[in-house]
Amino acid sequence: MAEMEKLIPPHGGYRKLKSFQIAQLIYDVTVRFCERYIDKRSRTRDQMVQAARSGVQNIAEGSQASGTSKKTELKLTGVARSSLEELRLDYQDFLRQRGLEEWPPEHPALLRLKARRCATLEQVQAWVEEERERAKQGQARTNMDGHGRALTNGSVGVGGSPCGSVSSAQLVANAALSLLNLDCYLLDRQLAAQADAFEKDGGFTERLYRVRSERRKRPSPED
């Protein structure tokens, strides 16, 4: 006998979602970034932290609400996506207003970041330190020839600027943007899948109707 459809299907489980895990890392990175590089009196500081938090919270709330409302799940996932887009613009503004380069996805430093598959703030910080050291070593090699004489050949460092001049702020902002690009992509896919499921199966009302209809068709224990 086929198993009856459940009125309230399995839901929650958001901690296993890659989109949630990355959003949580973005939130941790953003809190530390704002503490170090954004004036505490600036509204931007609060807005960035709140946008990052909204991304995390709405993914979680949407997943939890999916048991009784696919419509609410879709709405909250959309709010999370919008919040992270707002945060992405804030990081881009930070770089642009300070004359710092926003790196393309294929930038060598970002490729090294992606290869590390960072899951914690500490792992992102380790990448920043590694890239800073890489830039310093590049500057030392650039400035000296084989006989110990100084050279100036216009070599560039990890950010496309003179070797050694890349700042931690530039590194972290670009790392955050890389994470945001990935999470926004994942959320776009998540929204598409949720919309498709909602269109195909309906929401709680439709499921309630199906469950009731199925129960009426089943023979009673007395039969």
pLDDT digits over 160-187, tens only?
Answer: 443 447 899 999 999 999 999 999 999 9
Maximum Cα–Cα distance across the chain? 99
Q: Looking at the domain assignment, is residue 117 inside a domain?
A: yes
- Asked whether the predicted pLDDT for residue 204 surpasses 80, the reply is no
| Residue 152 identity | T
3-state secondary structure of 111: helix
Q: What is the mean pLDDT of residues 86-99?
A: 98
Whether residue 187 is contained in a domain is answered as yes
Q: Residue 1 falls within a domain, yes or no?
A: no
**Structural domain total, the chain:** 1
Over residues 52-58, mean pLDDT? 98
Residue with tokens 């929401």: 203
What percent of the chain is modeled with pLDDT above 90? 61
Q: Decide if 181 contacts 105 (C-beta within 8 A).
A: yes
* Domain containing residue 53: 14-217
**Is 79 part of a structural domain of the chain?**
yes
The Cα–Cα gap between 127 and 172 comes to 9
Give the model's confidence band at 53: pLDDT under 50 very low, under 70 low, under 90 confident, else very high: very high
